[in-house]
Structure 1
Amino acid sequence: MSDAVNRAWTMASRPEGEPTAENFAIKESTIPEPKHGEILIRTLYLSLDPYMRGRMRGGPSYAATLEIGDVMTGEVVARVEKSESPLFKVGDTVRSSIGWQEWAAIPAHTAKSVNPELGPVSTGVGVLGMPGMTAYFGLLEVLKPRAGDTLVVSAASGAVGAVVGQIGKINGCFVIGVAGSDEKCDYTVNELGFDAAINYKTQDVSAELARLSPNGVDCYFDNVGGPVSDAVFENLALKSRVAICGQISQYNAATPPQGPRNMAALIRTRTTVEGFLVYDFELQHEVARARIADWIKDGRIKYKEDVVDGFQNAPEAFIGLLNGKNFGKLLIKVSE
């Protein structure tokens, strides 16, 4: 990378179905100079997350969608290279939503400090960042698990699901993970401490849930939607709770799903289904971050990072993410 050039990945065209390399274009520009009150930051790690696919889709959403030519949405961990603000000094590490680019000059007050004493700086967009916060609040504030509850987590080895399951164990739940390979299932049980795991590609999810949780599923943390969620709904317990975090099985659909699936099951079980956003709990994030950091230090939470080296590889890695090729929190390492 030339220090004189900023590279950014933009949306060249809107995907129809699964994104392809042709939907992305790289744009070069001069590295900006920070103005008064701004800082110049250089990306160290770029976070790749499933929600980005939704930003590429036109139509209404909970956040602004991308237009052709826009820089791809995303959060980075970055180092301050120049500062025109008393809030940060050169060498500080920050988080910022500058998207898929290597450099940016931003208002200093919009950056969030990353404390390297809590963990490696990469965790600032992983277990100690948005994914960790999503897991913490989606479980504890939306599902409100009780000791002895059966908790099912889809995409269980992913950045969010892995943390959900481990916090569930801390809170006394019987935790069942659903993942897409035997390797991922083994990881959730043998490394993360889940009680059981189901490979949705090779096993009958509904039958396995009936065997593992004969009294029904009390809490379901839904990251995927589709057939996996159908199977869980068939096994919900009375007064169960479902948290809708993501629907990755549907993100590449050329047309939106035509309606809710298997809703009749909710009448029988009187289940509460609630969608949520991590930003609903933003004022409480620092408390959660400190708790998760303590659990990591105590060995009660483990995490896995899938780091792809090289900014140029972001589109390919993102396409793989939507197909479940990553194992753990997916990051692009951009610079040292």
Structure 2
Amino acid sequence: MKNDVNRQVLLRARPTGIPQAEHFEVVERPLPVLTDGQVLVRNSYLSVEPAMRGWVSAVANYSEPVPLGGVMRSLAAGRIVESRHPDWQPGDVVVGMFGWQDFAAVDPDAIQTKVTSAEPPLSAWLGVLGLNGLTAYFGLLDVGQPRAGETVVVSTAAGSVGSCVGQIAKIKGCRSVGIAGGPTKAELCRDAFGYDAAIDYKQGDLDAALTAACPNGIDVYFDNTAGAISDAVMKHLTVGARVVICGTASVSSWDPVPLGPRVERHLLVKRARMQGILIFDYANRYDEGRVALAQWVREGRLRYREDILDGIDKAPDAIASLYRGENLGKRLIRIA
């Protein structure tokens, strides 16, 4: 094999909030040796997710934390270069939980899907056709249950999940309103992703902006932030509204649990429903979601943007820069 070194990004220290570059280190190790039943994947793209903050936290989460000294957990896309399993062959293009590294020796159950088409490109399988698009698809349609003519509001609306939510809402005949940080991202919501209205939460009175953008109230709120943005949205919920809890990006730490305005009265008086979504609960339906998402992409009804960093050395700071709002599109690291 041409490259006999495997660069890996390891978790060197456990952060108390958003992981920074100093919490990781890049090391070089020999190529992994396969055992029977395994395949060796040469990664091309590594994914960067807001959820990674929870994956490295010592605070209880929905998954076991990445161990200290362990390879950073992540989705990746690449090509099988060696196989000791009869169902997988060298040359197969795959997406799965392969981690932040050049090469991954994995059991087949780490593979989420085999990519058999060049359209959309491989990178899209980590974004619009990956967990981000699938989260938007099932979160909005299964949990939010939008109906044509309703108003759907999305926070972090220009992000890889939020941008898909807004466009799916439009496909389903809804009015879409995005909340984003800064004029560039608000403009992106309108011009690239087709939102009917976009609000820059950093400018002016958010409550007044919501009143103007949502004169008939908010029927579905897709919440990626929690915090002050979501507090402002709650008073605009309609009777029977649905709130989809997808992320809590504005909260830097949950230990101790931060206290703020109470939402119970809004949910009670408006007979509204609030429900969380973890995309891993939908693993047996991924193919269903990907078929619909891919069709919309091919039809030009679902557009996406990517923010690609080149080189595995960019990985240590990639999560922190995501929370600093530096990306315009799905954040990826290209290593091959």
Counterparts of 1:114-133 in structure 2, within 5 Å, are 114-133=115-134
- Residue 20 (structure 2) aligns with: 20
Which residue type is aligned with residue 286 of structure 2?
Answer: H
Question: Aligned partners of 2:76 and 2:193: how far apart in 1?
Answer: 26
Query: Are 2:179 and 1:178 equivalent residues in the alignment?
Result: yes
- Residue 239 (structure 1) aligns with: 240
**C-alpha contact (below 8 Å) 1:150/1:217 kept by paired residues:** yes
Deviation at 1:117, TM superposition (A): 3.7
- Residue 99 (structure 1) aligns with: 99
- Residue 161 (structure 1) aligns with: 162
Question: Aligned partners of 1:295 and 1:96: how far apart in 2?
Answer: 23
Query: What count of residue pairs does the alignment treat as equivalent?
Result: 333
**C-alpha contact (below 8 Å) 2:98/2:110 kept by paired residues:** no
Question: Aligned partners of 2:119 and 2:267: how far apart in 1?
Answer: 41
- Residue 206 (structure 2) aligns with: 205
**C-alpha contact (below 8 Å) 1:74/1:99 kept by paired residues:** yes
**C-alpha contact (below 8 Å) 2:159/2:328 kept by paired residues:** yes
RMSD (CA atoms) = 1.5
Partner SS state of residue 29, structure 1: strand
Question: Aligned partners of 1:325 and 1:3: how far apart in 2?
Answer: 32
**C-alpha contact (below 8 Å) 1:233/1:262 kept by paired residues:** no
Deviation at 1:254, TM superposition (A): 7.2
Gaps of 5+ in 1: none
Which residue type is aligned with residue 174 of structure 2?
Answer: C
Question: Aligned partners of 1:171 and 1:16: how far apart in 2?
Answer: 40
**C-alpha contact (below 8 Å) 2:44/2:78 kept by paired residues:** yes
Change (3 A) 1:292 1:281: same
Deviation at 1:150, TM superposition (A): 0.5
Partner SS state of residue 64, structure 1: coil
- Residue 327 (structure 2) aligns with: 326
- Residue 108 (structure 2) aligns with: 108
Change (3 A) 1:254 1:315: farther
Deviation at 1:53, TM superposition (A): 0.4
Partner SS state of residue 33, structure 1: coil
TM normalised by structure 2 equals: 0.95
Residues 55-102 of structure 1: per-residue CA shift (max 9 Å, x gap): 121132111012321221111001111112222221111112122111
Residues 123-151 of structure 1: per-residue CA shift (max 9 Å, x gap): 11110011010000000000000001100
- Residue 149 (structure 2) aligns with: 148
Question: Aligned partners of 1:118 and 1:273: how far apart in 2?
Answer: 36
Question: Aligned partners of 1:13 and 1:156: how far apart in 2?
Answer: 32
**C-alpha contact (below 8 Å) 2:20/2:319 kept by paired residues:** no
Partner SS state of residue 66, structure 1: coil
- Residue 225 (structure 1) aligns with: 226
Partner SS state of residue 94, structure 1: strand
Question: Aligned partners of 2:21 and 2:131: how far apart in 1?
Answer: 26
Which residue type is aligned with residue 130 of structure 1?
Answer: L
After superposing the two structures, state which structure 1 stretch, 317-326 or 104-113, moved more: 104-113
- Residue 258 (structure 2) aligns with: 258
TM normalised by structure 1 equals: 0.95
Which residue type is aligned with residue 190 of structure 1?
Answer: D
Question: Aligned partners of 2:271 and 2:67: how far apart in 1?
Answer: 41
After superposing the two structures, state which structure 1 stretch, 81-90 or 220-229, moved more: 81-90
Structure 1 ranges of 4+ moved more than 6 A: none
Question: Aligned partners of 1:249 and 1:209: how far apart in 2?
Answer: 19
Residues 146-173 of structure 1: per-residue CA shift (max 9 Å, x gap): 0011000011111100000000000011
**C-alpha contact (below 8 Å) 1:133/1:285 kept by paired residues:** yes
**C-alpha contact (below 8 Å) 1:115/1:121 kept by paired residues:** no
Which residue type is aligned with residue 56 of structure 1?
Answer: V
Deviation at 1:201, TM superposition (A): 1.0
Question: Aligned partners of 2:241 and 2:5: how far apart in 1?
Answer: 53
Question: Aligned partners of 1:166 and 1:296: how far apart in 2?
Answer: 11
Counterparts of 1:303-314 in structure 2, within 5 Å, are 303-314=304-315
**C-alpha contact (below 8 Å) 2:17/2:53 kept by paired residues:** no
Amino-acid identity (%): 40
- Residue 55 (structure 2) aligns with: 55
Which residue type is aligned with residue 304 of structure 1?
Answer: R
- Residue 317 (structure 1) aligns with: 318
Deviation at 1:116, TM superposition (A): 2.8
Which residue type is aligned with residue 5 of structure 1?
Answer: V
Which residue type is aligned with residue 258 of structure 1?
Answer: P
Residues 201-246 of structure 1: per-residue CA shift (max 9 Å, x gap): 1132221111121221000000111111011112111110000001
Partner SS state of residue 316, structure 2: helix
